[in-house]
Chain A
């Protein structure tokens, strides 16, 4: 029974899919911005800045996320200022660690002043254990920052109704977590991601929960516009190799989405001809 439901879902998505035919010009457009890589990579948790830079390069990413924190007055080198090539990467400041709309908006304004960008990855967290977003405060902060002219990329849960509200509030991207931040559990509820994709026209980027390359491919095959990840690369045994794997998975998933997968069927369907078997057996 679930098989039948699954097949209908896929047909519906194909009808509504608006994937571009030409993957050579497959830019990701977010508000006024246009990016060639659909993989956004975080800069946290690497064992060194050198390793971080090797991973960013291997991932092929164009957008990298950074956090806003107090400058270390005793050791200014703890900042990433001198370790990230700003001509190469678009820095996307986040509001990680903020637990109210007011606090998140304060960090967003600091990020804009610091990096001279109107891009903000908005995170308003609900609690420290789950790091799930506070939906009410997230919606409030999205509306406030959109009104202030920010290009708001909003981290959210995979709730389709909240996604709709965020899109209506003017988010440039709605970014559902595949699973809790840093959990590496992948896409726990692909159905909700599908419903979000079917509900809103705003670009959807899966943000958080990616554990390995197949998670990225699965997300992209669902039809999301991009994937944002950090721990999946930074904490892998070989981070640089995993960064490359993530890049390849993203391209594979994107192409598979654009190519259009075959229908899922309950029974087998032979690829080799049934005619012309020796001894004249088989159907003609």
Chain B
């Protein structure tokens, strides 16, 4: 249940916009991000390397090449998967 709120002064030119927060569900847990957060920024905040995961938002895959531009929206249901041991 991270709260990843950023102060208005921390947002860079391309970073999350100050002000309103949005709530998303990631792997069943609620997280808060600033409006304008991209998938790439979300993964960075979660300390997940982009090459080791795949991301689904509202049951649609968000391809890796679009992680830089794709924005989170309030209420998004996000699944972040990786590979683990299996037969």
A81's partner among B46, B49, B61 (CB-CB below 8 A) is B49
Query: Which residue numbers of B lie inside 8 Å of A, CB to CB?
Result: 26-29, 46-49, 51-54, 56, 59, 61, 63-64, 79-87
- Contact B83 A81, beta carbon cutoff 8 Å: yes
Expressed in whole angstroms, the Cα–Cα distance for A42 and B86 within the complex equals: 6
Residue contact A76 to B48, C-beta cutoff 8 Å = yes
The chain A residue with its CB closest to the CB of B80 is A71
Asked if residues A44 and B61 are in contact (CB atoms below 8 Å), the reply is no
Asked if A115 is at the interface (CB within 8 A of a chain B CB), the reply is: yes
Kindly identify, within residues 78 to 109 of chain A, every residue whose CB is under 8 Å from any CB belonging to chain B: 78-82, 91, 93-94, 96, 106, 109
User: Assuming the A-B contacts A73-B26, A76-B48, A81-B49, are A114 and B86 also in contact, with contact meaning beta carbons closer than 8 angstroms in the complex?
Assistant: no
Residues of A within 8 A of B61 (CB): 109-110, 113
Tell which of A43, A111, A114 has the most Cβ of chain B within 10 Å: A114
* Contact A76:B47 (CB < 8 A) given known A70-B79, A110-B56, A113-B54: yes
Question: A96–B85 Cα gap in the complex (Å)?
Answer: 11
Cβ of A80 and Cβ of B84 under 8 Å apart? yes
A residues lining the B interface (CB < 8 Å)? 42-46, 52, 65-71, 73, 76, 78-82, 91, 93-94, 96, 106, 109-111, 113-115, 181-182, 208, 228-231
B64–A113 contact, CB under 8 A? Answer: yes
Is A114 a contact of B27 with CB atoms below 8 Å? no
Query: Known: A71-B81, A96-B86. Is A110-B54 also a contact (CB below 8 A)?
Result: yes
Instruction: Return B17 CB to nearest CB of chain A, in Å.
Output: 24
B86 to chain A, nearest CB (A): 3
List of A residues within 8 angstroms of B52 by Cβ: 71, 76, 79, 81-82, 114
Q: Is the CB of A113 within 8 A of B63?
A: yes
Q: Which residues of B contact A43 (CB under 8 A)?
A: 84-87
- Minimum C-beta distance from A107 to chain B (A): 8
